[in-house]
Amino acid sequence: MIRLTPEVADALRRGTGVVALESSVLAQGLPIPANRDAAERMSAAVQRSGAVPAIAAVVDGVPTLGLSHEELERFLNREGITKVSSRDLAAAIVQRRCGATTVAATLALMARSDVRVFATGGIGGVHRAPPFDESADLVELARSPRIVVCAGAKSILDLPATLERLETLAVPVIGYRCTEFPAFFSASSSLPVTATADSAAEIVAIERAHRRLGRTEALLVVQPPPAHAAMAAGEIEAVLVEALREADSERIRGAAMTPFLLARIERATGGRSRAANLALLESNAVLAGDIAVALASDRGAPVPSAHPRAS
C-alpha cells in the first residue's frame, strides 16, 4: 500500500540508508516560511550523512514515503492539507485526502515498508493540563520495530509522566552522548534515560540485540538540541506556565493545544524557540542519517523480522 518515490525505492534496493521524516511539522508545526527552511535543512542533513530522506505523507489518498518537488510544494503551501495521525490513515486513503503525517502516522507507514530509521523534533506524550490527553505517538512507539531519533518530548508536556508511560510500554530510551532526557528546547530535564550510547554503531548494536530478544517496540534515541541554540529550562518553564493559563482561559483543548502553546512560546521568546526548533530538527536528521548508514552497512546478520514471535 505504500508508494515509494524512485529515489527511495532505489536506495532500499541498493541497501543504502533511508531516513523517514514526518510532514506534519512542515504543514502544521512550523509557520511559513520556516517550514521550507526545516524541509531543506533536514533533507540536506540526511544526505550529508550518506542516506536518502523520505518525507512521509498521504497524497491524494496514496500513503507515501518520499515526496516529489511538486508534492512537497503543496504541503509547504498547506492548501487542502489535513493533519493525519495513525487512526486517520484509512479514512484519508479512502477519501483521497492529502494528509500530513504525525509521528504516530509516520511510524504506521514505516511499519509497512523497509524504512527503519525516523528523525523528528520531539515526540508527543502526556499533556500537563486536564484531561491529561496522551499522544498516539506513545502507542505507536510501543508496537513499531523502528529507530526514532528526537530531542526528547516537547517541553510543553508532562515529561516525568511521559517517561513513565514509555517505561510501562517497554520502549527503550537511549541517550546519544547524554544521560538526561532532553526537554526539546532545553538540554536538561533532570530525568534519566534508560541507557547511553556514544556512536551510531553502538545504537545499531543495541537495536539488533533488542530485535533478537523478540522485542517489537521502537528504539527511542534522544539527544539534546545543539548547544548554540538550546534554551534554559527555567526560561521555557516560566513562559509555558503563562501560556497554559492563557490556554485554559480560552478553552484550548486536544489537538489544538500543542500548536497554541508553541506559538505562544515563540512570541514570548522573540523567535528564539523557533531557531532552537530548526536547529534540533537538523541535528536529529544528521544523527538519524548516521544511524541509517550504519544500519545499512551492518550486514553480518539478516534483517530481523518485524514480528519475530509470530514466525
134 included as an active-site residue: no
151 three-class SS: coil
User: 22, 140, 180, 282: which one is catalytic?
Assistant: 22
Grid cell digits, residue 310: 509470530
- Please name which of 108, 308, 112 lies closest in space to residue 215, comparing C-alpha atoms: 308
Grid cell digits, residue 34: 520556516
CB–CB of 47/14 below 8 Å? no
Exposed/middle/buried for residue 3 (C-beta within 10 Å: 0-12, 13-18, 19+)? middle
Cα distances (Å, whole numbers) of residue 51 to 44, 96, 147: 10, 30, 15
DSSP letters along 33-101, please?
THHHHHHHHHHHHHHHTT-EEEEEEEETTEEEES--HHHHHHHHHTTTEEEE-GGGHHHHHHTT-EEEE
User: 154, 180, 207, 282: which one is catalytic?
Assistant: 154
**Residue 173 Rama label (left phi>0; alpha psi -120 to 50; beta):** beta
Alpha helices in the chain, H assignment, sequence order: 6-14, 24, 34-48, 69-77, 89-94, 103-110, 136-143, 159-168, 200-212, 233-249, 257-268, 272-297
Q: How many CA atoms lie less than 13 Å away from 200 in the CB half-sphere? A: 20
83 included as an active-site residue: no
Q: In 9-37, which positions are buried (b, 16+ CB within 10 angstroms) versus exposed (e)?
A: bebbeeebbbbbbbbbbbbbbbeeebbee
**Which residues have a catalytic role annotated?**
22, 154
